[in-house]
Amino acid sequence: MAQDNSRIPYRHPQPKESPPELVIPSVIPADERVWVPQGENVWFRPLNLCASRGYWMNLLRVRKSGVLSRHRHPQPVHGYVIKGRWRYLEHDWVAEEGGYVYEAPGETHTLVVDEGVEEMITLFQVNGVMIYVDPDGAVLGYEDVFTKINLCRAHYEKVGLGAGFVDQFIR
Ligand code: FE
């Protein structure tokens, strides 16, 4: 009878080019300094800043109501709403706590948090670039994984965690 090998770990080396895994026990950090400010009452918390593939995973936290940004995504975005709710002016659905949102490539939309939402936290996986635009699509600015890394470095240096604190999130 064949020996039961179901509990035997894989016994060969992992590919040497494979980057180290990344495990973050507390997605909502105990240390408030981990949140990187990106506007008044708006922060992001890096989880995976994937420089090698040009995407990032982060939490977006908003503690105000109103328009956050109008932006275009050339590539898809995935979102999971951890707390609160938000919507896009261009759509009639609302992203609710516990919900998942797929944002299609090519979309331009305007993110709004409505009155009565004290705090919104959403996990976003953003590929490539966020292009900030005016209502006609004229480019106002952009963010990519590299600008995110730079914001983290500057903030962590300033709050005493050290610029190198961001390195743990970079793959
Ligand atoms: Fe979006």
Helix (H) or strand (E) run with residue 108 in it: strand 108-113
Rounded to the nearest angstrom, the distance between the alpha carbon of 164 and the centre of ligand 1 is 29
The four Cα atoms 89, 36, 28, 73 give a dihedral, to 10 degrees, of 40
Q: Return the pLDDT at 2.
A: 77
Q: Which domains does the chain have, with CATH numbers?
A: 32-169 (2.60.120.10)
Other CB atoms closer than 10 Å to residue 166's CB: what's the count? 22
pTM: 0.94
User: How far away, in angstroms, is 119 Cα from ligand 1 center?
Assistant: 18
pLDDT per position in the chain (171 positions), as tens? 678 999 999 999 999 999 999 999 999 999 999 999 999 999 999 999 999 999 999 999 999 999 999 999 999 999 999 999 999 999 999 999 999 999 999 999 999 999 999 999 999 999 999 999 999 999 999 999 999 999 999 999 999 999 999 999 999
Give the Å distance between the CA of 113 and the centre of ligand 1.
Answer: 13
Q: Is the dihedral of CA 79, 80, 83, 89 positive or negative?
A: positive
pLDDT reported for residue 53: 96
Q: For residue 96, what are the β-bridge partners?
A: 85
Q: What is the pLDDT of residue 3?
A: 84
Ligand 1 center to residue 72 CA distance, Å?
A: 7
- Between the CA of 37 and the centroid of ligand 1 the distance, in Å, is 18
